[in-house]
Amino acid sequence: LALSVGAQPPTRPSQPPEGDLSVTALYTSQVWRWGGLPGARLFDTGLGRLVFGAVTIALGVMKLFRWSLPALRHGLLQRHLAIDRVTERAGVGQVLEIASGLSRRGVTMAGRDPGLTYVEVDLPHVVAQKRELLARSEEGRAVAARPNWILVAGDAADLDLAEHLDPARPAVVIAEGLLMYL
């Protein structure tokens, strides 16, 4: 990106209103619940169920006109299971998930392996929503108290992500939830 002298830098898109979660975060969290993935029920919301139902109906109608249309929820579930498997098989001591949304991955992986440090980064309103959802249940509160599961509130573009990782330990970085916004 080249800027001429005196030109104003490009502006970022405006942030969503406080408490707003993207449709993709809501839909994905419900795909994990639909697929029976561990930890997914902790992030179950009425709005997420509504989004999941509406998208499922809309895609069902589209399938009437385009028979070969693949089922979005199946592909999404398979993609996230593949990310889980690759991450687990990497044998690292830490994971950084950028733009984690309502991901249940950190909850699950940090719960299985107390030696793993799992850091999730997302915008402040998303992290606040995630903490609020966990506070609803005893299981969620126990998850939130885990020392090896860390939520970082901030814009990934502005944070020094390296400060949340131990440079002496190998890490996996997951940015799947971020790439669509770049």
The 10s digit of each residue's pLDDT in 91-119 is: 999 999 999 999 999 999 999 999 999 99
pTM beyond 0.85: the answer is no
SS3 of residue 41 by DSSP: helix
CA distance 127 to 133: 10
Whether the per-residue pLDDT at 81 is higher than 60: the answer is yes
Q: How many residues does the chain have?
A: 182
Cβ neighbors of 144 (< 8 A, separation 6 or more) are 131, 134, 135
Alpha-carbon distance of 156 to 178, in angstroms, equals 9
- In the structure, what pLDDT confidence band is assigned to residue 178 with cuts at 50, 70 and 90? confident
